């Protein structure tokens, strides 16, 4: 029983590499991600069209091939969070976190009592339909291993980040760069001085608290820089982004 391979990577001081799965509903995409050596994939329900049946199937395949499927729930509510975990997600990336109360709501959805209020699903996607351990053992394992990750996407949230990440249950934080730039009134200027200052604050809080700092890079060329900046989980583009990048390069290489 290993609900989340990311934990062992981080415990060993390693860096986890993954990508967004934005549109593909084909299990072959998940198998290819694993065969390529990725550590995790992320499904973003805030913006993307996945229904729960599709999400369940893709999370199951990801777990079976050794990937950590992470899910960004469509809202901050105990049901939206616990439901995707019951389908087999290894962890959640909570979007638009603004307050300590948001984090407490997430904790209640992620963890079984006494740490939270997650309900018990029994034989379901979370245990790959294999109840080989007692309920007590299983719940203890999940409480120790499911990842609670936060996405901060506003200046106000970053300035109170120390308070937001105070609970020991928080495993890591990343900035949502596009929405942060919108919040600052400088759309898509992700290298703007004000943006870089907020990235520095986020990195420092993560370092001081001993939690995992995450980031998103648009291509593989950005991975080494992200590692140098202290990131221990890095999302590289997306299924659609990488396809578009490769096909565009192929198109540009044709004879003029």
CATH classification at residue 16: 3.20.20.60
Q: What pTM value is reported for the model?
A: 0.95
In a domain, 174, yes or no: no
Q: Is residue 226 part of a domain?
A: yes
The reported pLDDT for the residue numbered 134 is 81
Q: Of 2, 56, 41, 83, which is closest to residue 233 (Cα–Cα)?
A: 41
pLDDT-derived band at 101 (thresholds 50, 70, 90) equals very high
Q: What is the per-residue pLDDT for 28?
A: 97
**Mean pLDDT value across residues 235-253:** 94
Mean pLDDT calculated for residue range 7-21: 96
Average pLDDT of span 237-251: 94
Structure tokens given for 206: 């993560």
In a domain, 47, yes or no: yes
pLDDT grade for 213, boundaries at 50, 70 and 90: very high
Which residues, in sequence order, are CB contacts of 104 under 8 Å at separation 6+?
167
For 86, the domain range is: 6-149+211-251
User: What integer pLDDT is reported at residue 2 of this predicted model?
Assistant: 84
Confidence class for position 108, pLDDT limits 50, 70, 90 = very high
Structural domains of the chain, count: 1
**Cα(9)–Cα(48) distance, rounded to whole angstroms?**
28
| pLDDT band of 205, cuts 50, 70, 90 | very high
> Could you tell me where the DSSP H helices lie in the chain?
6-11, 27-35, 52-64, 78-86, 100-110, 135-145, 155-159, 161-164, 177-184, 193-209, 223-228, 239-252
According to the model, what pLDDT value does residue 20 have? 97
Q: At 121, which helix (H) or strand (E)?
A: none
* Residue-level pLDDT at 1: 65
140 in any annotated domain: yes
Q: Alpha-carbon torsion 212, 98, 187, 204, what sign?
A: negative
Residue 64, in any domain of the structure: yes
- pLDDT digits over 153-169, tens only? 999 999 999 999 999 99
Angle (deg, nearest 10), helices 78-86 and 100-110 = 40
């Amino acid at each position: 029983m290993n609900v989340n391979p990311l934990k062992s990577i981080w415990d060993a001081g390693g860096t986890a590499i993954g990508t967004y799965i934005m549109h593909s509903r084909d299990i072959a995409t998940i198998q290819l991600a694993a065969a390529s050596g990725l550590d995790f994939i992320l499904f973003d329900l805030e913006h993307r069209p996945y229904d729960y049946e599709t999400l369940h199937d893709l999370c199951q395949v990801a777990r079976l091939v050794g990937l950590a499927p992470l899910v960004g729930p469509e809202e901050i509510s105990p049901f939206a969070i616990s439901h995707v975990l019951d389908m087999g997600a290894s962890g959640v990336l909570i979007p638009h976190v603004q307050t300590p109360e948001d984090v407490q709501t997430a904790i209640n959805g992620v963890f079984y009592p006494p740490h939270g209020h997650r309900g018990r699903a029994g034989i379901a996607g979370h245990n790959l339909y294999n109840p080989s351990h007692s309920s007590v053992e299983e719940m203890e394992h999940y409480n120790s291993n499911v990842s609670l990750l936060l996405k901060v996407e506003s200046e106000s949230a970053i300035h109170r980040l120390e308070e937001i990440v105070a609970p020991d249950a928080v495993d890591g934080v990343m900035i949502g760069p596009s929405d942060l730039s919108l919040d600052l009134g400088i759309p898509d200027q992700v290298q703007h001085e004000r943006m870089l200052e907020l990235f520095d604050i986020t990195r420092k809080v993560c370092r001081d608290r001993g939690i995992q700092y995450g980031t998103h890079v648009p291509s593989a060329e950005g991975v080494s820089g992200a590692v140098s900046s202290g990131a221990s989980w890095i999302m590289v583009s997306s299924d659609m982004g990488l396809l578009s990048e490769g096909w565009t390069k192929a198109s540009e290489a044709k004879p003029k």
